[in-house]
């Protein structure tokens, strides 16, 4: 039933994208950068922000939800009808990689996220000495994920690097799924 509804929405070319990650990973900056807004005016997201972006004929409704520890218990309120989960990782934050892995792993166990694809954005890649893609893959044990279609992309909210390519993957994945059902 859920997959039929999802397919109907994808046919309408409308998608629901949930952007999550630990606090300070750069979620709001990514959304702002995609929207062409000044990323230097960001302040911590205490609730959530929804932004709609038109991309390749698709209407992408992006939900940017606050990532502080106290707010993570509320994440579940946003799972419903999610087509794609964008998991934003601060690639300079080596200390919290375990926390990051655990939060992602528990999200992927959520029943209401079954069927959602996963894009891991390796953010802050403009910072010298940040973790590379292979290191993040290993730290988050991405190769063990078999329940969701996933990919990892190196990006930077600061320079805008790969953000459009990320959206392109999201839309292409939606198109592919229409043929799969
Ligand atoms: P959040 O929404 O995930 O909590 P924010 O994260 O978007 O508020 O970003 C947290 C901090 O990281 C901000 O710095 C922001 O400028 C910085 N940041 C986000 N993306 C990048 C990036 O790609 N490169 C670099 N170098 N910095 C980034 P401040 O200093 O305002 O806390």
Testing ligand 1's pocket by substitution, the residue of 18, 35, 42 carrying the most ligand atoms inside 8 A of its CB is: 42
Whole-number Cα distances in Å, 180 to 102, 138, 141, 165, 173: 30, 29, 26, 22, 10
27 lines ligand 1 (CB under 6 A): yes
Active site residues: 68
CA of 30 to the centre of ligand 1 (A): 8
pLDDT at 6: 65
Task: Find the 6 Cα to ligand 1 centroid distance in Å.
Answer: 32
Strands 117-123 vs 150-154: parallel, antiparallel or unpaired? parallel
How far is the C-alpha of 76 from the C-alpha of 95, rounded, in Å? 25
Please tell me the distance from the alpha carbon of residue 23 to that of residue 89, in angstroms, as a whole number.
10
Cα(87) to centroid(ligand 1), Å: 15
pLDDT in tens, 1-53: 556 666 667 677 889 999 999 999 999 999 999 988 888 876 666 677 889 99
| Residue of 66, 73, 76, 139 whose CA lies nearest to 102 | 139
Q: Which atom of ligand 1 is nearest to the CA of 68?
A: 4
> Which residue positions in the chain have pLDDT lower than 70?
1-8, 10, 42-46, 179-181
- Atom 11 of ligand 1: nearest residue by CA position: 24
Whole-Å CA distances, 107 to 117, 145, 153, 154, 178: 12, 12, 19, 21, 24
């Amino acid at each position: 039933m859920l997959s039929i509804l999802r397919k109907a929405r994808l046919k309408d070319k409308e998608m629901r994208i949930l952007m999550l990650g630990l606090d300070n990973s750069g979620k709001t900056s990514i959304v702002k950068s995609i929207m062409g807004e000044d990323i230097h005016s960001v302040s911590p997201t205490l609730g959530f922000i929804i932004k709609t972006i038109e991309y390749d004929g698709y209407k992408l409704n992006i939900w940017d939800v606050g990532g502080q520890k106290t707010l993570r218990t509320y994440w579940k309120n946003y799972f419903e009808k999610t087509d794609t989960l964008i998991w934003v990782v601060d690639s300079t934050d080596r200390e919290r990689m375990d926390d990051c892995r655990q939060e992602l792993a528990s999200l992927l166990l959520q029943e209401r996220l079954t069927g959602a694809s996963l894009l891991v954005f390796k953010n802050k890649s403009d910072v010298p000495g940040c973790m590379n893609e292979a290191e993040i893959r290993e730290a988050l044990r991405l190769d063990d994920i078999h329940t969701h279609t996933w990919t990892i992309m190196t990006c930077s909210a600061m320079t805008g690097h790969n953000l459009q390519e990320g959206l392109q993957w999201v839309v292409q994945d939606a198109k592919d799924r229409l043929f799969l059902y």
